[in-house]
Amino acid sequence: MPSTYRAPWWLPGGHTQTIVAALRPPPRPTTVRERWETPDGDFIDVDFAGPAQAPSMLVVFHGLEGSADSAYGRGLAAAAIAIGWRVALPHFRGCSGEPNRLPRAYHSGDSAEIDWILRRLAPASQRVVAVGISLGGNVLLKWLGEQGAAAQAVLGRAAAVSASLDLQACGDALDHGLNRLLYTRLFLASMKARALAKLAAHPSNASNIDARRMRTARTLREFDDAYTAPLHGFRDVDDYWTRASSAPWLARIRLPTLVLNAKNDPFLPPAMLAAATREASASVLLESPATGGHVGFLEGPFPGQHGWLARRLLDFLSNDA
């Protein structure tokens, strides 16, 4: 398990690993980008690394406002390439550095998007495994539950890291206290900029969006209620967060799946983590190390080094049993 962090007195350990891991990313691997046309006339960008004819492919789904260049994407890609694997890093719509074409964006429950991506990446000659990080982990777990045993025809194994299993719990945690200052403020700045650009590009789509309330939102709840929920056909934020959460789907997962959430993850309090995973199926391996923060999992003395997370995930995903 990751080494215990001796965090600065003014910043709890969960925050320390979360922030340091993001601010000190591993080196960027060499990637080649492909643009895929989506079934509904939009596009996504997918970055590839490693040998094209590798026997195994790792697919990494990024988190909220993330990309293939996020620290965890770099670390996982480098570790997988080192053992001879190919890596695919799909971007959710609008996250590759260029706005997508359609009025819609991406959201925490868009398992249909993951479905067509995985099926396109799953040729019969190559073993495919997948990892979802944070928001990407939630969407991947939801897809696994919806598919049940049918997921075994697409993937060999799967893992979710720091997944937002219960969006109500995560939203409430992020909208209060230090979380709101450290994370929510940055998320909202990025999300508002994208949303305003989207509304400017698609003015006819603004009829069901409260742009003023979205622009002045100070919490994720307010933003998702004003923008994300109506944009993607949900009644309101509670309808969105309830229907998009992956926790209710854990009981239906039939593919060997690792769910890795640190107990000191500031995005999902320990009591909520325990409640969200209580009904997980026997196919789900739950691991809750004491430290790790939100997608941190650094090792060694402060400020720490990347490496443990990729080793743990690849060890699990390499197992064919």
Q: What is the pLDDT of residues 67-112, one digit of tens each?
A: 999 999 999 999 999 999 999 999 999 999 999 999 999 999 999 9
The reply to whether the predicted model has a pTM over 0.75 is: yes
Strands of 158-161's sheet, edge to edge?
Answer: 32-37, 43-49, 86-90, 56-61, 127-133, 158-161, 257-260, 284-287
Average pLDDT over the chain, rounded to an integer: 93
Bridge partners of 258? 159, 285
**Which one is catalytic: 15, 62, 107, 294?**
294
Other CB atoms within 10 Å distance of the CB of residue 151: 23
Q: Is 315 annotated in the active site? A: no
> In the structure encoding, which two tokens stand for residue 204, read together?
């006819």
Domain residue extents for the chain: 13-165+246-317, 167-244
Q: Does the pLDDT of residue 2 top 70, yes or no? A: no
Helix (H, G, I), strand (E, B) or coil at 252: helix
Distance CA 63, CA 137 (A): 8
pLDDT digits (tens, 9 = 90+) for 258-298: 999 999 999 999 999 999 999 999 999 999 999 999 999 99
**Which one is catalytic: 134, 164, 246, 283?**
134
- Annotate 59-123 with DSSP letters as a single string: EEE--TT--TTSHHHHHHHHHHHHTT-EEEEEPPTT-SSS--SSS----TT-HHHHHHHHHHT--
pLDDT at 204: 76
pLDDT at 320: 79
> In the structure encoding, which two tokens stand for residue 114, read together?
């993951």
pLDDT at 216: 96
Distance CA 12, CA 178 (A): 10
Q: Is 265 annotated in the active site? A: yes
Q: Does the pLDDT of residue 4 top 90, yes or no? A: no
Q: If you average pLDDT over residues 230-239, what whole number do you get? A: 96
**Which one is catalytic: 69, 110, 224, 265?**
265
Q: Is 294 annotated in the active site? A: yes
Q: If you average pLDDT over residues 225-244, what whole number do you get? A: 97
pLDDT bucket at 314, cuts 50 / 70 / 90: very high
**Does CATH place domain 13-165+246-317 in 3.40.50.1820?**
yes
Distance CA 139, CA 160 (A): 9
Distance CA 76, CA 73 (A): 5
pLDDT at 8: 65
pLDDT digits (tens, 9 = 90+) for 19-65: 999 989 999 999 999 999 999 999 999 999 999 999 999 999 999 99
pLDDT at 203: 84
Helix (H, G, I), strand (E, B) or coil at 55: coil
pLDDT at 123: 81
pLDDT at 128: 97
Which amino acid is residue 157, in one-letter code? R
Bridge partners of 161? 133, 260
Q: If you average pLDDT over residues 106-132, what whole number do you get? A: 94
pLDDT digits (tens, 9 = 90+) for 159-181: 999 999 999 999 999 999 999 99
